Structure 1
């Protein structure tokens, strides 16, 4: 292919996948933004709202794995188009028949469509970029999440106050449909796969046991980091808006600005972390240090900042800043985690492993809102329940950060996989162009 064409196509794919994640997270964030109106209009308790918030993640795990395996066999262009179609359609019943059960079912269906979104997007991206160029482009795609929340929080709050919370879901449905039209016109499968483990006659790639891959210490380490990072992300999406409203007495619009500002801090943190990782890699540091240790330290620091936010007795500004850092630091796991997985796993199994690890991580999205709602309902005062929830999140982040430092050794793991397959099957390692 012509190099100019490839450069231009890479840019368009990165841009479209970035917007894809912006819409994805706007869909996730909308429930938290309109939560006060929904709870009042439908007379929901904190536990009932927590169930609706968690229902989004009920089939995340299954959907992510199923579509992850499909992405190894079928075009990512088609798969992503199907997922966005599901997003757009499932918003509509909420507009016309709002009730507890309609919200519950629609959020479950939306979760099925959005569960595989990030790993399939990364799998599609890596078909255009080799390993040494993946840190920054992965970070760009990952920033679609924070940007989606930053844009969604004030805009959807304004739209809700102006046109009602039901029409907010209609707006998101239309945005998804418009993106889908452009994606179908622009997108194309990339030509590149990083490496494959081949049989002796090079007729087809050799498949490594998925059990061995999933139970590998490095992949488990990435899964632990991602699980803890998603725990606090789910806390941000579902309970941070009501915490800001109850804890600080701010209006809906001001709450959305506060939330946007908190999330905004994650963008330079993640891009800076990815750039620093690339700098270390270019200076000759192994991916053990330039990726694994770095992301583990970031996740640990997120836990430490979250702990200090609720225990240090800071004023409003201090709590705000520490909470922002607590949400920002772990976000690097969504950028560097996939690059570690892609470095370890053969290309022909990459889509499935990215989806499996992502599905394990997003199971935190089921547990976190439910546990938080349970803590709030059973605390002597709601704010005490929030404090307990943030302390739990801080503990998970610190533990995961320490485990990541110990467990993840990307290059060593990759060489071990190749050596084992050679020993068992007399195979060779063939890099693809």
Structure 2
């Protein structure tokens, strides 16, 4: 049985210590996070494209529903629930087989599913395809986390993580206006077909960027009893670590904010603040551009000070404060400015939460830890769109959705208090 030691304040096995000593000798290939960026960007297009269709009457008629906030929110929630379950249960495969083969296979499935969505004319059919898309995309973030964890030293992990995480805000900043443009000029079906067509160049980019990525060390000798026993012990240590679970709880609140914003931001601007659709198409992208800037600045700052938990705390506190300002503003540009401040602060914490997880867990179970972390976060965060939809439908007030996200941000800050001195 392995014995745990301390590295950077974290309990790790002797094998993990040896891996940590070798990490500085590894060549740093920035093509790796850039390839992962392309993959995340594509996946985020697929995720949020449907949210831009919520207010489209043609899409509603095709599915046989009117503007029903609860049922429309369920289309996003169904995806996220299956996404979280898949991330939790399937991501451990990334500790055993080639991540490159997994990612390429996953993208082929995404392409097929997006084409099928374009031909779907029923609510139940769209719901089924959204669930399947969630299953197919579930392992993406844990795989990306694991690849960067093994390819980059701790001192560069926030910046390397930031590079592929930029696919999230850029995907939202570009995805919403592009989807709305396609919707207005070619109809709702074309939005899915265009997303499917984008898969082909991304597959090539990922293949080139990850061509130097080797299989995880465990994949070479995964049949050995000693390796299997060591892996089980590392997993037991992970599951017994209180700090790991606090980070997972914080991530639940962190992703609740993200998916609440992604699910309802365009509709909130149009129906809640009275912004015309033609203006909302570009104004809705500005908060996500701010999120992008937040990720860049937050990653640089956190790598400099190496206070991962504090960086995440300040990030979530600022995100909640920004939403409070939005609730009390009516001027269009003031609303967008406050929303942008909120998303900027959220973005500053995005790469740091992965660096925090890396600092608190063993490298040898990176995909497993990342899967549980990402899966639980998305599984719980999946409730945000439908909860917000229910609140909006019940109180007939779009502001109630933002009040919910503000309360969630406050809870997230509380989750980090015990970690501030350790990480």
Which residue does the alignment assign to 1:262?
287
1:49-105 superposed Cα distances (whole Å, 9 cap, x missing partner): 111121111212221023321000011101111221221111112212322112111
Are 1:217 and 2:242 matched, yes or no?
yes
Equivalent position to 2:358, from 337, 342, 349: 342
The answer to whether the Cα contact below 8 Å between 1:59 and 1:108 also exists between their aligned partners in 2 is yes
**How far apart, in 1, do the equivalents of 2:126 and 2:344 lie?**
29
Are 2:32 and 1:16 equivalent residues in the alignment?
Answer: no
The reply on whether 1:392 has 2:401 as its aligned counterpart is no
Matched with 1:238 is 263
Could you tell me how far apart the structure 2 residues matched to 1:104 and 1:190 are?
A: 35
Gap change, CA 1:149 and 1:301, over 3 Å in 2: same
Aligned residues: 387
Q: Which whole-Å deviations, capped at 9, do the CAs of 1:170-226 have from their partners, x for residues lacking one?
A: 1111111331234234423546989xxxxxxxx748333535423523222222222
* Equivalent-residue separation in structure 1 for 2:208 and 2:293 (angstroms): 31
Q: Does 1:30 align with 2:30?
A: no
Q: 1:177 pairs with 193, 196, 200, which one? A: 200
Q: Which runs of structure 2 are paired with 1:30-429 in the superposition (5 Å)?
A: 30-37=49-56, 38-42=59-63, 43-44=65-66, 45-188=68-211, 190=213, 204=227, 206-207=230-231, 208=233, 210-281=235-306, 290-310=307-327, 312-313=328-329, 315-379=331-395, 381=396, 384=397, 386-407=398-419
Given that 2:177 and 2:281 are in contact with CA atoms closer than 8 Å, whether structure 1 keeps it comes out as: yes
2 CA distance for matches of 1:211 and 1:127?
A: 21
Hey, what's the Cα distance between the residues in 2 that align with 1:407 and 1:93? 45
Cα 1:16–1:395 change in 2 (3 A) is same
**Which whole-Å CA distance do the structure 1 matches of 2:403 and 2:183 have between them?**
32
Q: Retained in 1: the 8 A contact 2:145–2:366?
A: no
Counterpart-to-counterpart distance in 2, 1:190 and 1:364: 32
Distance of 1:326 and 1:214 partners within structure 2: 33
| Distance in structure 1 (CA, Å) of the matches to 2:420 and 2:243 | 4
CA distance, structure 2, for counterparts of residue 67 and residue 54 of structure 1: 19
- Give the drift of 1:325: 2.2
Q: Deviations over 1:327-359 (max 9, x none)?
A: 332234431122122223222211110111011
- Find the aligned partners of 2:242 and 2:331 in 1 and give their Cα distance: 41
**Separation in 2, partners of 1:206, 1:410:** 26
136 and 342 in structure 1: CA distance in 2 versus 1, 3 angstrom threshold: same
| Residue aligned with 2:211, SS | coil
Contact conserved, 1:29 with 1:153, CA < 8 A, in 2?
yes
- Give, in whole Å, the separation in 1 of the partners of 2:73 and 2:361: 36
Q: 1:24 to 1:291 in 2, by over 3 A?
A: same
Q: Which residue of 2 aligns with 1:422?
A: none
Q: What secondary structure sits across from 1:188 in the alignment? A: coil
3-state SS in 2 of match to 1:28: helix
| Cα-Cα RMSD | 2.5
Distance 1:129 1:39, change over 3 A: same
| 2:270 and 2:276 in contact (8 A); partners too | yes
SS at match of 1:74: coil
TM-score calculated relative to the size of structure 1: 0.83
Q: Residues 81 and 183 of structure 1 are in contact (CA less than 8 Å); yes or no, is this contact kept in structure 2? A: yes
